[in-house]
């Protein structure tokens, strides 16, 4: 593939976007950008330094962080200040913290700029909440994945258990619904499909069915 290609995958937690974005990245041999991990990394670091909501502090904190994406065939490594973001950011607690700081204009503005800079010279598949609607409005292909809250919660429980994090289904379902409301009702860049996004309900589809659907569009129209 020679022409630079940007594919966006948006959707709520547990819609399957992370797994699908990684599969597309492997199949097309293009980089994979997990923008949720950026919000999680910022939230995790702010929490660690005991941030209390002070806007000036967040400004100087953002000035000091650097993100970079290292792409090698077979995997993309997202680093914050030179460190790969690992499993410590994957808990539901950090997810909720990320959703809280994702409401702030200063954070969104900063991360949007970083995401566009990362995509400037490479082809990539970017996943998040506002990839197709705000960050990459001219993306070549935009997808929006969704599934019922119960199915998404079940998937999250399985993912977290695979990481060795023991969780309760009912807690996860409630946290996920809380995060859905917060992400889709915030004033700036709310979770919402871009007008030209292809919407896929993954509730009753296997991963390979979702992947086939997406690849059908990408192969057929590129």
Residues found near ligand DC in the complex (CB under 6 A): 13, 35-36, 39-40, 95, 98-99, 102, 128-130, 179, 183
Q: Which helix (H) or strand (E) holds 194?
A: none
**137 vs 212, which CB is nearer to ligand DC?**
137
What phi and psi, each to the nearest 5 degrees, are found at residue 127? -120, 145
**16 vs 95, which CB is nearer to ligand DC?**
95
**102 vs 173, which CB is nearer to ligand DC?**
102
How far apart are CB 183 and ligand DC at their closest, in Å?
A: 5
How far apart are CB 115 and ligand DC at their closest, in Å?
A: 8
**88 vs 212, which CB is nearer to ligand DC?**
88
How far apart are CB 139 and ligand DC at their closest, in Å?
A: 13
How far apart are CB 12 and ligand DC at their closest, in Å?
A: 8
Torsion of CA 145, 114, 26, 159, to 10 degrees: -50
| Contact between 150 and 14 (Cβ < 8 Å) | no
Nearest in space to 118 (alpha carbons), one of 85, 77, 69: 69
| Contact between 32 and 23 (Cβ < 8 Å) | no
Cα–Cα distances in angstroms (integers) from residue 47 to residues 96, 111, 112, in the given order: 12, 18, 21
Structure-block tokens of residue 63 = 């000035």
**44 vs 71, which CB is nearer to ligand DC?**
44
Distance CA 65, CA 101 (A): 16
| Contact between 222 and 30 (Cβ < 8 Å) | no
How far apart are CB 84 and ligand DC at their closest, in Å?
A: 16
**19 vs 26, which CB is nearer to ligand DC?**
19
How far apart are CB 109 and ligand DC at their closest, in Å?
A: 12
| Contact between 145 and 15 (Cβ < 8 Å) | yes
């Amino acid at each position: 593939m020679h022409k630079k290609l940007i594919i966006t995958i948006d959707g709520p937690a547990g819609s399957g976007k992370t797994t699908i974005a990684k599969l597309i990245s492997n199949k097309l041999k293009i980089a994979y950008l997990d923008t949720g991990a950026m919000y999680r990394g910022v939230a995790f670091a702010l929490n660690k330094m005991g941030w209390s909501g002070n806007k000036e502090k967040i400004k100087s904190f953002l000035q000091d962080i650097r993100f970079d994406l290292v792409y090698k065939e077979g995997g993309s490594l997202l680093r914050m200040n030179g460190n790969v973001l690992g499993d410590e950011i994957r808990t539901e607690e950090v997810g909720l913290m990320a959703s809280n700081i994702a409401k702030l204009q200063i954070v969104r503005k900063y991360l949007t700029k970083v995401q566009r800079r990362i995509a400037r010279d490479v082809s990539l598949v970017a996943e998040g909440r506002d990839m197709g609607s705000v960050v990459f409005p001219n993306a070549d292909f935009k997808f929006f994945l969704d599934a019922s809250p119960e199915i998404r919660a079940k998937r999250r429980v399985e993912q977290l258990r695979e990481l060795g994090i023991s969780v309760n289904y009912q807690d996860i379902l409630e946290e996920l619904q809380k995060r859905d409301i917060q992400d889709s009702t915030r004033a700036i860049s709310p979770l919402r499909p871009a007008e030209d996004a292809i919407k896929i309900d993954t509730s009753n589809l296997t991963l390979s069915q979702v992947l086939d659907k997406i690849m059908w569009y990408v192969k057929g129209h590129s």
